[in-house]
Amino acid sequence: MKIFSVKKEIIENKKISAGCYRITFESRKIACMAKPGQFLHIKCSDTYDPLLRRPISIHSVENNVIEILYKVVGRGTGLLSEKSCGDSIDVMGPLGNGFDYQSLVTCHLSPILVGGGIGIAPLYFLARKLVEKYSNVTVLIGADAKHNILCVDKLKKLGCRVKVSTNDGSTGINGTVVNLLKKELSPENVKLKIFACGPIPMLKQINRLVSVYNVSSQVSLEKRMACGIGACMGCIIKVKNGYKRVCKDGPVFDIKEVIWEDL
């Protein structure tokens, strides 16, 4: 078995900014298998309403301790935020393909991580893995305002170069994370690999940008899911040669593969 369905005690469910929480729990099995970019499928209620699990990225794995970082946007995440230390959390995972960062060395590419809003969640785990091997990890973080810029300190602590943007200019540059990315890109500097996660409009802009420079890029996408494991065909997206399942063939896709007009 490579995927597990487990019930674990919550070690901590901490509010880390307005509407954002971080849950910590222990699972040796999941921790062993987890790769950056993969996600967990979480049951937020013990009753039949809401019925389905919710996909949440793996934010961090350290020893056997797993963290998720989530934003309250509806009923499922709302119920999750009400859980306390000691309550149990029902998770399935690790699911999905994860980021492909193995090829960086062979191709001599420098990683740039681009996170919009809660999109930073899976990128922190990736950054942790990358700093083990690379000294030149750049992380660009964008949000609407200062209080929604997450993970800056802990990314810096890892040794990453961190740049920040806010739409209201309350911290970092005044603009979006795509503006930050533009500054990193230049015709001379295409020896980059971009890993991006965030809202669709942001990813679409990145797509336009990197197609100009032809920079290798991977994006993590979201779709409403039922099974989370590849069985129900609920979460498909259009790709160059047909349909792919976000849960099983993704959530990480090569930016060139995705039919962006369809999203």
Ligand X SMILES: Cc1cc2nc3c(=O)[nH]c(=O)nc-3n(C[C@H](O)[C@H](O)[C@H](O)COP(=O)(O)OP(=O)(O)OC[C@H]3O[C@@H](n4cnc5c(N)ncnc54)[C@H](O)[C@@H]3O)c2cc1C
Q: Does 233 bind ligand FES (CB under 6 A)?
A: yes
Contact 60, 16 (CB under 8 A): no
Q: What is the nearest approach in angstroms of ligand X to the Cβ of residue 220?
A: 7
Span between the terminal Cα atoms of the chain, in Å: 33
Cα 97 from Cα 39, distance rounded (Å): 9
- Taking the least distance from each CB to ligand FMN, the nearer of 50 and 78 is 50
Q: Does 52 bind ligand FES (CB under 6 A)?
A: no
Packing angle, helices 200-213 and 177-184, rounded to 10 = 10
Query: For binding to its own copies (CB under 8 A), which residues are involved?
Result: 45, 47-50, 75
CA-CA-CA-CA torsion for 181, 125, 35, 226, nearest 10 degrees? -80
Binding site for another protein (CB under 8 A): 1-5, 43, 48-53, 92, 223-237, 242-243, 248, 262
Of 44 and 61, CB closest to another protein:
44
- Dihedral pair phi/psi, residue 151, rounded to 5°: 75, 5
Task: Confirm or reject binding of residue 73 to ligand FES (CB under 6 A).
Answer: no
CB 194 within 8 A of CB 210: yes
- Which of another protein, ligand FMN, ligand X, none does 30 bind, CB closer than 5 to 8 A by kind? none
Q: Does 56 bind ligand FES (CB under 6 A)?
A: no
Decide the pairing of beta strands 242-245 and 173-174.
Answer: unpaired
Tell whether residue 51 is a contact of ligand FMN (CB under 6 A).
no
Q: φ and ψ at 192, to 5 degrees? A: -120, 160
| The token pair that represents 104 in the structure block | 């960086």
The entry of its own copies, ligand FES, ligand X, none that residue 45 binds, CB within 5 to 8 Å by partner kind: its own copies
Per-residue interface string for the shown chain with ligand FES, residues 172-211, x marking contact by CB under 6 A: ----------------------------------------
- Residue 31 partner contact from ligand FMN, ligand FES, another protein, none using kind-dependent CB cut-offs of 5 to 8 Å: none
Which positions lie near ligand FES, rule CB under 6 A?
A: 225-228, 230-235, 245, 247-248
Which positions lie near ligand FMN, rule CB under 6 A?
A: 226, 232, 234
